Amino acid sequence: MQPYSTQFLQEDDFLEVITALKNPLLTQGNVTLEFEKALSKFCNAKYALVFNSATSALYAAYNALNLENSEVITTPLSFVATTNMLLQNHATPVFCDIKQDGNINPEKIIPLITKKTKAIVSVDYGGKSVDIDSIKAICKDYNLSFISDSSHAIGSEYKNQKVGGLADATIFSFHPVKPMTTLEGGALLTNSKAIYEKAKLVRSHGVMKKNLWHYDVICNGFNFRMNEVQAALGISQLKKLPHFIQVRENIAKFYDSFFANNPYFTTIHQNNPYISSNHLYTILLNPTLQPKKEEVFQLFQENGLGVQVHYKPIYHFSYYKNLFGNISLPQTEAFYNATLSIPCHHKLELHQAEKIAQKILYLFSKI
């Protein structure tokens, strides 16, 4: 089975992990600090905090921005953690429709703003950065915070600047399917000292260290920490991230040209103006094939192509229906009906991608 995405671990990664395992400190040591330093440098952001997942980093970011009892405008085309963590912070997600590329549509945001709106949470769908300038302009006019769930997008750029230092808080995921991995893991990047300090307290029990054995607990908190072994893997993977991105970009470019003008689906990668991590390579089924999407999915899976659908709109889930009733946003529905993610990852060699591409067109001819 060729998955739509997977981790790529090599000898140098294993060596770093083994070295970290032999260190006296397995958690809360220097390797974690070193990984945070490397991340903030890579993204040109003042502060970086690593977490045991992007989900907990999202929780901490929302908490640090005091979103309790507020409304937060966000995209329904995401992994559910984006909004689950809003609910966990007693904030109400308000779903905004998307554009043709799967990202939130800034033009649709303003009509959703109310007196209770406190923030916008965007997702860089598939790795393509959202339109940061437009979102920032809205945030400035209406005094809102801007949180970027960039779980897909470490290494992506917007106007030749790395994603990570551009929003009030940016979250990355290091889950194995994401552009680089720490097994499980996530990060929060920010230029705000206040967000950094609050998120750090939330990460570790609300504990503020003093001297000797003295410490104070100044708010509630969790254990959301990444350990030293994961951080060692993160440092090793981050060094190779530019290469990983180049590999995925080469595959994406190949797919763009191979699939140009085919009768079954369109592609969206060729319209990216800036470097994308290409976490997903998205194809959009033509309208005549959309009613047969389950058949397509099954046929592909049976033939060793681990295609996946990103995503079922969050408001489709029963938990959300029970909370917010039936919601249907036209562009989100259209995207969901059409989208399929095909294998594109940094462990994939170009000759394998060629075989996959041929197989895809062959299988479509059988539907």
Ligand X SMILES: *Cc1c(COP(=O)(O)O)cnc(C)c1O
Of the candidates 2, 5, 63, 82, which one interacts with ligand X according to CB under 6 A? 82
126-185 residues in contact with ligand X (CB under 6 A) are 149, 151-152, 173, 175
- Tokens standing for 310? 């990103």
Using the rule CB under 6 A, give the single segment among 42-50, 79-87, 155-163, 204-212 that binds ligand X.
Answer: 79-87
Q: Which of 43, 50, 120, 123 binds ligand X (CB under 6 A)?
A: 123
Q: How many residues sit close enough to ligand X to count as binding (CB under 6 A)?
A: 14
| Type of residue numbered 118 | K
CB of 7 to ligand X, least distance (A): 13
| Closest separation in Å from C-beta 149 to ligand X | 5
SS3 track for 261-285: CCCCEEECHHHCCCCCCCCCEEEEE
Minimum distance, C-beta of residue 284 to ligand X, in the bound complex (Å): 19
Query: CB-wise, 155 or 289, nearer to ligand X?
Result: 155
Amino acid at site 190: T
Task: Single out the segment in contact with ligand X by CB under 6 A; choices: 76-84, 94-102, 159-167, 346-354.
Answer: 76-84
CA distance 130 to 122: 7
Alpha-carbon separation of residue 59 from 84, 104, 176, 186, 347 (angstroms): 9, 20, 20, 11, 31
Q: Judged by CB, which is closer to ligand X: 86, or 247? A: 86
**Ramachandran bin of 222, using left for φ above 0, alpha for ψ from -120 to 50, beta for the remaining angles:** beta
- 344 HSE (CA, 13 A, CB side): 28
For residue 177, the minimal CB distance to ligand X (Å) is 7
Contact set for ligand X, span 182-211 (CB under 6 A): 186
Who's near 67: CB < 8 A, 6+ residues apart? 86, 89, 90, 91, 118, 119, 145
Query: What DSSP element (H or E) covers 301?
Result: helix 293-302
Q: Does 55 bind ligand X (CB under 6 A)?
A: yes
The nearest distance, CB 223 to ligand X, in angstroms, is 15
**Hey, what are 90's tokens?**
């007693």
* 59 lies in the site for ligand X, by CB under 6 A: no
Footprint on this chain of ligand X (rule: CB under 6 A): 53-55, 78-79, 81-82, 123, 149, 151-152, 173, 175, 186
